Amino acid sequence: MLRNRKPIKIFGVKDTNYSEKKLLNICNELLNDNYYIAERYPVYQSAHTGVSLWTCDPYKERSWRFWLHTLIVIEYLVHGFELFGHTKFIHKSLAIVTDWKTHNLPTADSEMAWHDHSTALRLIVICRLFEAWRTVSWDPTVAMQFAEIAEFHCMKLSDSGFYRQKHNHGLDQDIALYVAATVFSHLEHASAWRALALTRAQQQLKHLFAADGSYLEHSPGYSVIFLNRLYHFMRFLQQQGDPHYEMLQKIISRKIRFIAHILQPNGQIPPIGDSMMTELDVGPWLDLDDKNVSELKYVLSNGVNGSKPSALDALFSGGGYAALRNKWKFDDNTVQLVFYSGFHSRVHKHHDDLSFTLFGHGQPLLTDAGRYNYNYDSPERKYVVSARGHNTVMVDGTDTLTTRLNIGNSGLAHYYFGKPFSFVSGLHCLYRDVIHQRAILYYKPWNILVFDRLYSNRMHQYEQLFTFFPGVECTFSDGSILAMTSKNKQMIIRSLLNDSREPNLVKGQKNPLKGWCSVRHGTLEPAWTLAYTAEGQQVNFATHISLQPLTQPISAFQWTHESINFVIDGFKINLRLEPQGAVLGMNGNRIKLEMIKQPILEKTINDLRRRLNLG
Instruction: Kindly tell me if the per-residue pLDDT of 295 is higher than 70.
Output: yes
CATH code for the domain of 606: 2.70.98.70
Residue among 227, 232, 575 nearest 424 (CA): 575
| pLDDT tens figures, 533-567 | 999 999 999 999 999 987 778 999 999 999 999 99
The boundaries of the domain holding residue 576 are: 341-611
Per-residue confidence (pLDDT) for residue 550, from 0 to 100 = 78
Where b means 16+ CB within 10 Å and e means fewer, 134-167 reads beeeeeeeebeebbebbbebbebbbeeeebbebb
pLDDT, mean of residues 209-221: 94
User: How far, in Å, CA of 120 to CA of 325, rounded?
Assistant: 39
Residue at a domain's end among 159, 187, 215: 187
String of DSSP letters for 323-390: EEES-SS-STT--EEEEE-B-S-STT--S-TTEEEEEETTEEEE---B---S-TTSHHHHHHHSGGGS
183, 146 in Cβ contact below 8 A?
A: no
Instruction: Kindly tell me if the per-residue pLDDT of 436 is higher than 80.
Output: yes
Question: What single letter denotes the amino acid at residue 135?
Answer: T
With 0-12 CB in 10 A as exposed, 13-18 as middle and 19+ as buried, what is 504?
middle
| pLDDT tens figures, 345-365 | 999 999 999 999 999 999 999
Instruction: Kindly tell me if the per-residue pLDDT of 131 is higher than 90.
Output: yes
Rg (CA), the chain: 26
Between the alpha carbon of residue 482 and those of residues 76, 488, 501, 547, the distances in Å are: 48, 11, 16, 10
Residue 228 phi/psi, 5-degree rounding, is -65, -45
396, 461 in Cβ contact below 8 A?
A: yes
Between the alpha carbon of residue 79 and those of residues 15, 22, 91, 131, 594, the distances in Å are: 11, 12, 13, 12, 50
Instruction: Kindly tell me if the per-residue pLDDT of 423 is higher than 90.
Output: yes
Residue 487 lies in a domain: yes
Residue 270 lies in a domain: no
Percent helix, strand and coil across the chain, each to the nearest 5: 35, 25, 40
Least confident of 326-330, 362-366, 478-482: 478-482
Between the alpha carbon of residue 208 and those of residues 15, 17, 314, 330, the distances in Å are: 21, 27, 20, 31
Per-residue confidence (pLDDT) for residue 614, from 0 to 100 = 82
Residue among 546, 387, 363, 582 nearest 466 (CA): 387
Residue 21 lies in a domain: yes
pLDDT, mean of residues 440-458: 97
Instruction: Kindly tell me if the per-residue pLDDT of 585 is higher than 80.
Output: yes
Residue 231 phi/psi, 5-degree rounding, is -65, -50
378, 355 in Cβ contact below 8 A?
A: no
Residue 146 lies in a domain: yes
CATH code for the domain of 61: 1.50.10.100
Residue at a domain's end among 164, 187, 210: 187
User: How far, in Å, CA of 355 to CA of 358, rounded?
Assistant: 10
Per-residue confidence (pLDDT) for residue 104, from 0 to 100 = 98
Grade residue 326 by pLDDT with cuts at 50, 70 and 90. Answer: very high
Residue 460 lies in a domain: yes
78, 89 in Cβ contact below 8 A?
A: yes
| pLDDT tens figures, 506-534 | 999 999 999 999 999 999 999 999 999 99
Least confident of 127-141, 330-344, 547-561: 547-561
Per-residue confidence (pLDDT) for residue 4, from 0 to 100 = 86
| pLDDT tens figures, 229-280 | 999 999 999 999 999 999 999 999 999 999 999 999 999 999 999 999 999 9
Residue 307 lies in a domain: no
Give the pTM: 0.94
Per-residue confidence (pLDDT) for residue 500, from 0 to 100 = 66
How many domains does the chain divide into?
2
Residue at a domain's end among 165, 187, 209: 187
Residue 374 lies in a domain: yes
Residue 237 lies in a domain: no
Least confident of 8-12, 109-113, 246-250, 283-287: 283-287
Q: What is the mean pLDDT of the chain?
A: 96
Residue among 336, 294, 277 nearest 547 (CA): 336
Instruction: Kindly tell me if the per-residue pLDDT of 17 is higher than 80.
Output: no
With 0-12 CB in 10 A as exposed, 13-18 as middle and 19+ as buried, what is 488?
exposed
pLDDT, mean of residues 394-410: 97
Instruction: Kindly tell me if the per-residue pLDDT of 50 is higher than 80.
Output: no
